[in-house]
Amino acid sequence: MQCAGADLSALAGEFGTPLYVYSADAIAARARMLQGELAAVEHTICYAVKANSSLAIMKMLAGMGCGFDIVSGGELERVRRAAPEALGRVVFSGVGKQVWEMDAALEAGILLFNVESEAELEVLAERAVALGKTAKIALRVNPDVFAETHPYISTGLREHKFGIAIEKARAVYQRAMGLPGVEPAGVSVHIGSQIRSVEPFAESVKRVGKLVEELRSDGMDIRYIDAGGGLGIEYGAVEFDPAASVHAYAEAVMAASRSVGAHLLLEPGRFLVAQAGALLTRVLYVKQNGSKTFVITDAGMNDLIRPALYQAHHEIWPVVASSREAKVVDLVGPVCESGDFFAKDRELPELRAGELVVLLDAGAYGMSLSSHYNTRVRAAEVLVESGVGRLVRRRETLEDLMAAEIY
């Protein structure tokens, strides 16, 4: 198997496993696809850094004109290092922004703060005044739209912690108008992640468009609609046409910004990077427990937690094709939890110790959700450009892991 012309066995040999491998071309193709669909409206694609915060990937996307959606001071620092020229294209989301993070973002001159509560609004106004800055703000409104996805990643209902109820928003905006240091400039919405139908997007931006009109009639200069992220992909062995999917999505989200004449901001993460990345891992052992066969890999739930956390499905392929018979196995990691599995009762070509397998569609929320659980160093990362794999994050050492500890 190859990744954009780079041989996966060779990459594993050179850089070791577990190894995240990304195709630069595949990421660029997705970004261009989305940019192309949005060409008819003024827009900025603010890549959601949390999906994959590799500096190399961020640098590449910034080079294509993208901005960033950040949720922490740490992610802001990533933008500063990877693409300082893009600081003016940053939107700052998140329900729990801290003072130091607001200060850093105010100093950096970011594009927009997506404010999630009145309490946050007050703190932000205070900080902006203290620093002699004006914060352009959008309230993240909660449109009360249901989007079919995993409950952990659905955000647009009243019962969720995110945003401000849309029917309350107008009053909060009026309050913001009276506060020094903040300037209402946009309305933002994000209803969840891995959403595969366009209706919830269409419905939520429609509600946002209506609010924009009301706010303008109240005298506010609302120039931005931030429609968030959330466009899903297909993880299974299912036909997926990204061009068709992004076309329908773009039509839906452009409708509101067209009708009110606003600059459209989007915060895609998964759609840009998920299918451009894979996790390469080596089989350590194969063991039989009663009627079950376990294939134990050197990657574990600390490297890719999506199956354990969301019962997510990732396709699994042997790197070298064999004509061996298929077997029903559990593919599991070495971590000491029964939740440490990549697949249960999956039919896979028979695998043997020492062989390589690849977990597909792991470019989003793979490495970025990884941890040191079981005191395991995190995977290395390779970005394939023009058929050549370049190490963009070296494997950690045990020294890295323990460097911050005092004992």
Kindly indicate which of the ranges 27-35, 196-204, 233-241, 262-270 contains the residues binding ligand LLP, using the contact rule CB under 6 A: 262-270
With a CB cutoff of 8 Å and minimum separation 6, the contacts of 325 are 349, 350
Angstrom CA distances, 387 to 1, 24, 57, 361, 379, stand at: 13, 10, 16, 19, 21
Kindly indicate which of the ranges 58-66, 212-220, 228-236, 382-390 contains the residues binding ligand LLP, using the contact rule CB under 6 A: 228-236
Residue 185 CB neighbours (<10 A): 19
Helix, strand and coil percent figures for the chain, each rounded to 5: 35, 25, 35
Kindly indicate which of the ranges 53-61, 186-194, 205-213, 387-395 contains the residues binding ligand LLP, using the contact rule CB under 6 A: 186-194
Kindly indicate which of the ranges 31-39, 79-87, 174-182, 267-275 contains the residues binding ligand LLP, using the contact rule CB under 6 A: 267-275
C-beta of 223 vs 306, nearer to ligand LLP: 306
| Residue 51 makes contact with ligand LLP by CB under 6 A | yes
Chosen residue from 23, 53, 193, 281 binding ligand LLP by CB under 6 A: 193
C-beta of 188 vs 293, nearer to ligand LLP: 188
Do 362 and 277 touch, CB atoms closer than 8 A?
Answer: yes
Chosen residue from 73, 184, 229, 307 binding ligand LLP by CB under 6 A: 229
| Residue 116 makes contact with ligand LLP by CB under 6 A | no
Output the six-digit token pair for 294.
Answer: 């376990």
CA pair distance 58, 12, nearest whole angstrom: 24
C-beta of 60 vs 319, nearer to ligand LLP: 60
C-beta of 51 vs 164, nearer to ligand LLP: 51
| Residue 48 makes contact with ligand LLP by CB under 6 A | yes
CA pair distance 193, 385, nearest whole angstrom: 28
Residue with tokens 């899903």: 232
Chosen residue from 72, 93, 154, 297 binding ligand LLP by CB under 6 A: 93
CA pair distance 40, 126, nearest whole angstrom: 38
How many residues belong to the site for ligand LLP (CB under 6 A)?
22
From the list 293, 178, 198, the residue with the least C-alpha distance to 250 is 198
Within 13 Å of residue 230, how many CA atoms lie on the same side as its CB? Answer: 31
Residue 351 CB neighbours (<10 A): 21
Angstrom CA distances, 108 to 84, 91, 149, 319, stand at: 9, 11, 35, 44
- What is the DSSP secondary structure assignment for residue 195, as one 8-state letter? B
From the list 348, 282, 338, the residue with the least C-alpha distance to 314 is 348
| Residue 266 makes contact with ligand LLP by CB under 6 A | no
Chosen residue from 43, 89, 270, 282 binding ligand LLP by CB under 6 A: 270
Active site residue 3: no
Kindly indicate which of the ranges 52-60, 264-272, 326-334, 354-362 contains the residues binding ligand LLP, using the contact rule CB under 6 A: 264-272
Chosen residue from 44, 54, 194, 204 binding ligand LLP by CB under 6 A: 194
Angle, alpha carbons 215-221-222 (nearest 5°): 65
The least distance separating ligand LLP from the CB of residue 237, rounded to whole angstroms, comes to 19
| Residue 365 makes contact with ligand LLP by CB under 6 A | yes
C-beta of 131 vs 153, nearer to ligand LLP: 153
| Residue 313 makes contact with ligand LLP by CB under 6 A | no
The least distance separating ligand LLP from the CB of residue 155, rounded to whole angstroms, comes to 6
| Residue 228 makes contact with ligand LLP by CB under 6 A | yes
Angstrom CA distances, 114 to 27, 30, 110, 171, stand at: 26, 25, 11, 16
Residues 131-160 within binding reach of ligand LLP (CB under 6 A): 153
The least distance separating ligand LLP from the CB of residue 310, rounded to whole angstroms, comes to 6
Angle, alpha carbons 206-117-203 (nearest 5°): 15
| Residue 302 makes contact with ligand LLP by CB under 6 A | no
Residues that bind ligand LLP (CB under 6 A): 48, 51, 69, 93, 153, 190, 193-194, 228-231, 267-271, 306, 310, 364-365, 369
Catalytic residues: 336
